[in-house]
Each structure stands twice: as structure tokens, then as C-alpha cells.
Amino acid sequence: MSELRFDNQTVVVTGAGGGLGKAYALFFAERGANVVVNDLGGSHKGDGKSSKAADVVVDEIRAAGGKAVANYDSVENGEAIIETAIKNFGRVDVLLNNAGILRDISFKNMKDEDWDLINRVHTYGAYKCARAAWPHFRKQKYGRVINTASAAGLFGSFGQANYSAAKLGQVGFTETLAKEGAKYNILANVIAPIAASRMTATVMPPDVLDNLKPDWVVPLVAALVHSSNTTESGGIYEVGGGHMAKLRWERAKGALLKTDDSLTPGAIARKWNDVNDFSEPDYPTGPADFMGFLETGLKMPSAQSGEEPDFKGKVALV
Ligand code: NAI
């Protein structure tokens, strides 16, 4: 079987100076891609900056005969990162939104600064990079995006209210990019990885980390962003240590109550088992099917038609 190659493509990897980002950068360069190695080079809490982190990776790629260029901007300056791709390689095909920091602190002690910095890097940064790449993707009718969520976002995590919020935000962001990108062959997926890095070194013992090499996250990402993937978009994947699995929403049986004076908290309490009954679940993929449950049988315009919505004079889905 021939290997998946990325010749003549440009892959932008944010936060590529270490951890998962470095593993992506080395892999894609080895498989023929031009790689933009972006890294701000600060601490894992977001303090400071240095060009060294990105330079070391670029040197390693070039020494192995690959093509790479460094960019030292924060992901908050997404335009500058994409501009580096365009200026040096003339195009951008793949964007891996990977850069990240932590500001772990109990919610009781959380400061606005802890909340804001996490959201600036993870939420605003991913947005800025994707926003800058989008016109190029649309014009060439090709683009692949990977955003990076976390188990903390999917399930919550003690001391990570800021990070959890930002990371689950990546899921909704990805789902929407997948919908808006479909018509232009722009595919977006989101991963919740687990891998040894300076980020996890503080919370996991060495013998566990030995079994979680960043390299073992890379192949799934590579498969998702390869041109041979033409359909898989809007997916959420847990990946690490050789295991990978797609996640989806599950809806309980639920209860339908009359929309009159009998719709009281007490009436809901009496139906509480049904509200929470997952014995025969369904797997919702959009808002339209929820409306089908209603007593009035309300219908929602499909949000999945892939057509450019015309919001003028219409009520947006909120
Ligand atoms: P890491 O700390 O080794 O790498 C993150 C890189 O991003 C660093 O090199 C850092 O300098 C860079 N960076 C930070 N802020 C930046 C900014 N504003 N602009 C540009 N670069 C910036 O961490 P790791 O573990 O490789 O994390 C990669 C991504 O995976 C992050 O988004 C993280 O939240 C996510 N993640 C990692 C998990 C793991 O088990 N390692 C678990 C869940 C999520």
C-alpha cells in the first residue's frame, strides 16, 4: 500500500515548537509538505516568547531534507501566520490549530486574566488562523482544518473552567466550519488528544507518559487532512496511545408534556425517569429533529443543506 503523501501542499501547524505540534510538523515535512512551523515560544502558562522553539524544529526538518519556515507570531495574529505560508510557499492547504496553554486554577480563585488569556489563545487564536486561511481555501476549493479540543472540554476538569470552556468551544466551532466549508471542499474535524508533552508532564507520571507518545496522535490527523478524505467532516475524535474513537451526542427518550397550565415543575418531576432514560437513545445531528418532537410538530429549516443561507428577512437559528 502506498503511503499518504502531502507533496506540493502547505501545512500550517500552530504551536509546532514542541509536543504534538512538533510531531505534526516533522511528520508532514517527511511526507513531502511545505510546513509553516508557528510557535510563540513562551511558557506553558503563556508567559514570555522566544524564536528558539520554532527555529529548532525548522532546523531539524531542513537537516532531514524537508521544507519548513518558522513563524513566531501568537496565534492571535492569525493573518501573519497564514501570510508566512503564502509568502514562502504560495498557498495553504491544511491548518492544524494546535497551539495551547494552561492557566489551571480553582474556579473560586480564577481571575479575569486567567479566563481571558486561555480564550485568547485557544478560541480567538483558532478563529484568527482559520479566518485568515478561509478565503484561500474557498478560492482553491480545497482546505483541511483540525481544531484541538480536550477531554477537559468534553467532560469538565477540576481547576480548568477556563480551559474546559475554550476547548468545548472548539467543537461547536468545528461543526460550523464543517457545514460552511462543505460546498468548497473544506473539511474540518476536531480531536481530543492525549499525549506526553510539557503540558501533561506536570500531571501524569513518567511510566504513563511513555505510553502516550505524540507520534501516535499524528496518523489520525494525517488521515483526516489527506485529500483522500473527501467526506469525513465535523467529526470529534478522542485519540492517544494508539487508540482512537469518534464521539457523538446521545439523546434520552425524553418526555413530551402538554403546553398548557399543566406544564409545571411537578409534572416534569413525575416524568423525570423518561427525561433521563437512555435505554433507547437516539443520536441527534442537528436542531431540526428536536422540533419534530414538539406537540405542535414545528419544523425547522434544515441547517445542513450545504447551501449559502440567506439571513435577510429570516429568523436566524439561535
Ligand atoms: P505543548 O505545551 O507541548 O505545546 C503547545 C505549543 O503551543 C507550545 O510549543 C507553545 O509555545 C505553543 N503556544 C502557546 N501559546 C501560543 C500562541 N499564543 N501562539 C503560538 N504558539 C503558542 O502542549 P501539547 O500537549 O503539545 O498541546 C497541544 C494542543 O493539544 C493544545 O491545544 C492542548 O491544549 C491540546 N491538548 C493536549 C493534551 C495532551 O494530552 N497533551 C490533552 C488535551 C488537549
Q: Is residue 173 part of a domain?
A: yes
- The ipTM of this complex is 0.99
Q: Is residue 92 part of a domain?
A: yes
Task: Report the residue among 101, 155, 200 best suited for mutation to probe ligand 1: largest number of ligand atoms under 8 A from its CB.
Answer: 101
CB 34 near ligand 1, within 6 Å: no
Distance from residue 189's CA to the centre of ligand 1 (Å): 17
Does 307 score more than 90 pLDDT? no
Q: Take atom 15 of ligand 1 and give the residue whose Cα is closest.
A: 100
- Residue range 34-77, pLDDT digits in tens: 999 999 999 999 999 999 999 999 999 999 999 999 999 999 99
The domain of 110 spans: 10-247
Distance from residue 139's CA to the centre of ligand 1 (Å): 30
CATH number at residue 191: 3.40.50.720
Q: Would you call 142 a catalytic residue per the annotation?
A: no
Would you place residue 314 in the very low, low, confident or very high pLDDT band (cuts 50, 70, 90)? very low
For the CA atoms of 81, 86, 89, 93, what is the dihedral angle to 10 degrees? 80
CB 235 near ligand 1, within 6 Å: no
CB 153 near ligand 1, within 6 Å: no
Q: Is residue 293 part of a domain?
A: no
Average pLDDT, integer, range 200-220: 93
- Mean pLDDT (the chain, rounded): 93
Report d(CA 243, CA 263) in Å as an integer. Answer: 46
Task: Output the furthest CA–CA distance in the chain (Å, rounded).
Answer: 74
- Residue range 121-171, pLDDT digits in tens: 999 999 999 999 999 999 999 999 999 999 999 999 999 999 999 999 999
Q: Is residue 29 part of a domain?
A: yes
Average pLDDT, integer, range 269-289: 93
Between 22-36, 86-100, 190-204, 267-281, the lowest mean confidence (pLDDT) is in 190-204
CB 195 near ligand 1, within 6 Å: yes
* pLDDT score for 300: 56
Catalytic residue among 24, 163, 184, 283: 163
Q: Is residue 39 part of a domain?
A: yes
* pLDDT score for 296: 61
Count of domains observed in the chain: 1
Q: Is residue 260 part of a domain?
A: no
Query: DSSP characters for 94-155?
Result: EEE----------GGG--HHHHHHHIIIIIIHHHHHHHHHHHHHHHHT-EEEEEE--HHHHH
